[in-house]
Amino acid sequence: MDETPTTREPAPGPLALVQDFVNTAELPGGYDELTDIPAAVTWLDAHGFEVNPDESQRRRLVETREHLRTLIGVNSGLSLPAHAATRLGKLLDAASVHPVVDAGGVRLASAARGVDGFLAALLAALLQSSIDGSFRRLKVCRSDTCQWTFYDNSKNGCGTWCSMRSCGSRAKARAYRERHRHETASGGDSEAAGVAVVARARRPHLLRRRLAE
């Protein structure tokens, strides 16, 4: 069973930045924290990036976000369209990273600034989490009315909803209603067929009675 909202934890380390970034849009039709330049600046600043994007760079951020959601959807059993993978690669192409060696070990960093610097931070997080396996637990809620990105911290790594208490319960309730409707419809058809059989079975008896009279 999925974790409840009170125990669902955010993605670990730098991967949390990827999760927060994808969740800047609430789908379908909810808020969008990258809806315009001031909103994008506010969000980036709150996450430690002093970036002042122009409109084309803001659109690049939004497009990157949406293709990242598609990529993360693979961890939830969805397919990755080839064009989405190619486009995401191009969007991240300028955000180059390189290894930095220090007393703490080896880490990925970038000399890029501005939007490229932010995207480089995303790229470094994606690379590191792909290596350590944590990226596979970053998923998209399978509810069509949610699509929230969550980190699956369940023991078996088989979580499918961002919240079992809300999305999971609603999905199971819908499935139950569908089964109940199908069973009711099937039962009604069977009952009607049974009545018809009984009626046919009685007809010869009624005919014999009329002939006898």
For the stretch 71-117, pLDDT in tens is 999 999 999 999 999 999 999 998 889 999 999 898 888 888 999 99
Question: Residues of 10-47 as b/e, b for ≥16 C-beta within 10 angstroms?
Answer: ebeebbbbbbbbbbbbebeeeeebbeeeeebbebbeee
Q: For the chain, give every domain's residue range.
A: 15-161, 163-213
- For residue 198, the model assigns a pLDDT of 45
pTM score above 0.85: no
Q: Which residues pair with 99 in a beta bridge?
A: 108
Question: At residue 1, does pLDDT exceed 60?
Answer: no
| The pLDDT of residue 192 is above 70 | no
CATH of domain 15-161: 1.10.3300.10
Instruction: Give the count of beta carbons closer than 10 Å to the beta carbon of residue 139.
Output: 24
Q: Structure tokens of 98?
A: 């390189």
Give mean pLDDT, residues 46-62: 97
Cα 108 from Cα 89, distance rounded (Å): 18
Q: Give pLDDT, residue 127.
A: 94
- Determine contact, residues 11/148, Cβ cutoff 8 Å: no
Using alpha carbons only, how large is the chain's radius of gyration in Å?
Answer: 28
User: Which pLDDT score, from 0 to 100, does residue 184 have?
Assistant: 59
- pLDDT tens track for 110-164: 888 999 999 999 999 999 999 999 999 999 998 878 889 999 998 888 888 787 5
User: What pLDDT does 85 receive?
Assistant: 96
